[in-house]
Amino acid sequence: MTTLRPFDVMDMFKFNNVNLDINTETYGFQFYLHYMMNYPEYYQVAEHPNGEIMAYVMGKIEGRDTNWHGHVTALSVAPNFRRLGLAAYMMEFLERTSEARRAYFVDLFVRVSNKIAIELYKKLGYVVYRQIIGYYTGDRDEDAFDMRKSLSRDPEKKAMVPLNYLVHSRDVD
């Protein structure tokens, strides 16, 4: 049962069941409001009939020329609502939105240790494009994988050709 609706700022007062996940970051107001204002179609919440937030996806569209792409900034599912295909559904939604905006590809960053997520993205057609050294900082310093999936505007899948060298986080464009 997957129903998406636009994120509302008041959701921030009740998304703890999602955001307490160890792999989900909680940001300041400005971060969430920036996406809500500028990329509302990329910011969707899945809500259970009992009113609980099941999951949310946050993304944007950016870049120039052939680098015009959709980006998944955050994707998180509450523990009690897992194994429902929500992540796949939300990714599909974001991909469709990116297609409509004529993006060349969709990308995302994921912790190299988050095996479950990496496996999921691979099943959805994403490949590891590059490894970003030191992308995650703080208590859990870690590299990230930049994973990509080409859309119809990139039929030759040029965006998915992996880089053969590591990239430092400060050099990520």
Partner 1 sequence: MSKAELAVLERRLRPIYDSLDSQQFKKALSDCDKVLKKHPNTSAAKVLKALTLIRLEKLADATEILEALDVPGAHHDELTLQAFVHCYRDSNQHMKVVTLYERIIQVDPSEHNLTQLFMAYSREKMYKEQQKIGMRLYKDFGNAPYYFWSVMSLIMQAQENPELGKKMLLPLADKMCQTQVEKSGYTEGSSAELDLQLLILEGQEKWKECAAFLDRPQASVLPMAPYNLVEKGMDFLMKDKQYKRVDQLAMEAVTKMPDNWNLWKIITESTICQIEQCLESDNKENIELAHNFVKRLGLLIEKVQKQVGYKSRAPFIATFFAYKQIGKLTKQIPDMDDMTSIFGEQVDKMLEYAKNFYKKPVCFADLQMFFCDLTSEQKSNFLKGIDLWIGEVSAKDDVEGDESKVWAIILTERCRRALGEYEKMDAAGHRSLFQQCIAQIAAPERTEHAQGVLCNLTVSHLWDAYRKENDLTKFYEMILLLEFVAASNKTDPMCKLALIRAYSALCATGRISALVKTLDIKVIQMDTLGHLTFPVYETSGRFNLAIIQNTQLSLMYEQAEKEIQDCIAQAYRNGKFSAIPRMTAASKHMKLSAQKTACDVMNRYLSSLFVLDDVDQITVTLWGDEDPIGEKRIDWKQLIDTRDFNAIPYTETEEYEALLDDMKKRTFKELIDISELRSTLCRALGAVGRVTHENMEPRLARLQLKMTVMEFKQHLEYCCREYPSFLIPSKLAQSPAPHHLSQWVHSGGLQMVLEYLEAAVKLVDILDSGEHPEKSLVGTRTEMATKLIKLIEIPPKRKEGEKLPPFWIVDPIIKSSRALQTIAAIQVVLRLIEKVVLKLVKNVPTAVPEPVGKGKGKKDKKAAEEAMTKALDECKAVVFLEHIRAMHVELRSAGNFLHTYLGQMLALEDEYIPSNIGEDLGGAKAALEGMHNPVASRLQRSFLNTCEDMHTTIKLRF
Site for partner 1, rule CB under 8 A: 1-6, 8-10, 12-14, 16-17, 19-23, 26-30, 33-34, 36-38, 40-41, 44, 48-50, 52, 54, 79-84, 93, 97, 100, 139
The two tokens of residue 116 are: 């479950």
The two tokens of residue 35 are: 């996406």
Shortest spacing between CB 166 and partner 1, in angstroms: 27
Shortest spacing between CB 3 and partner 1, in angstroms: 4
The two tokens of residue 128 are: 């590891």
The two tokens of residue 40 are: 């509302």
Ordered strands of the 43-47 beta sheet: 4-6, 43-47, 53-62, 69-77, 105-111, 142-150, 127-136, 167-168
Q: In the complex with partner 1, which residue's Cβ is closer, 73 or 131? A: 73
Q: In the complex with partner 1, which residue's Cβ is closer, 38 or 66? A: 38
The DSSP-derived string for 36-75 is HHH-GGGEEEEE-TTS-EEEEEEEEEE-SGGG-EEEEEEE
Cβ neighbours of residue 1 closer than 8 Å, sequence gap 6 or more: 48, 49, 84
Shortest spacing between CB 4 and partner 1, in angstroms: 7
Q: In the complex with partner 1, which residue's Cβ is closer, 4 or 127? A: 4
Shortest spacing between CB 153 and partner 1, in angstroms: 19
Shortest spacing between CB 18 and partner 1, in angstroms: 10
Q: In the complex with partner 1, which residue's Cβ is closer, 41 or 154? A: 41
Q: In the complex with partner 1, which residue's Cβ is closer, 91 or 160? A: 91
